[in-house]
């Protein structure tokens, strides 16, 4: 079983940047595709980005494409989400997830999740 812990959330003004980190326990981290999801108040959880096991392939939701970058460091058991040009509509709790097939945008496909980190973008 892999445990995930997110960090890096906070309050930022529109146009600003944040970098989220997700640290994973366990020796099998590099075997799993990883993803980021988010959930805004009153809305359903939505896919943000995913990265393949090697880190060479990435996939993004249209709403964040060109602004967010997902990456991973398998030596550090960590996956990152660099968020630039943030907008108020990016405000949400961001969750790291793993264990799903690369390319899936369905949260139900991912077997383990972090506790989430709050990102708030002020206008």
The pLDDT value recorded for residue 12 is 98
Contacts of 56 (CB under 8 A, 6+ apart): none
Give me the DSSP letters along the chain: ---EEEE--EEEETT--EEEEEEE-STTGGGSEEEEEEE-TTS--EEEEEE-SSSS-EEE-TTTTTTEEEEEETTTTEEEEEE-S--GGG-EEEEEEEEEPTT---GGG--EE---EEEEEE-
The pLDDT value recorded for residue 1 is 75
Q: What is the mean pLDDT of each run of 10 residues along the chain (123 residues)?
A: 93 98 90 96 96 96 98 96 98 96 93 96 96
The pLDDT value recorded for residue 72 is 97
The pLDDT value recorded for residue 28 is 87
> How many angstroms separate the CA atoms of 18 and 9, rounded?
7
Query: Is residue 57 within 8 Å of residue 51, measured between CB atoms?
Result: yes
The pLDDT value recorded for residue 26 is 79
């Amino acid at each position: 079983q892999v445990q995930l812990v997110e960090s890096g959330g906070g309050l930022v003004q529109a146009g600003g940047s944040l970098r989220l980190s997700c640290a994973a326990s366990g020796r099998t981290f590099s075997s799993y595709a990883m993803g980021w999801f988010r959930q805004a108040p009153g809305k359903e959880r939505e896919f943000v980005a995913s990265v393949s096991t090697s880190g060479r392939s990435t996939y993004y939701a249209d709403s964040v494409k060109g602004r967010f970058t997902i990456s991973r460091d398998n030596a550090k058991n960590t996956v990152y989400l660099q968020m630039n040009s943030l907008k108020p509509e990016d405000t949400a709790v961001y969750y790291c997830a793993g264990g799903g097939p690369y390319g899936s945008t369905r949260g139900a496909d991912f077997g383990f999740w972090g506790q989430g980190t709050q990102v708030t973008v002020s206008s």
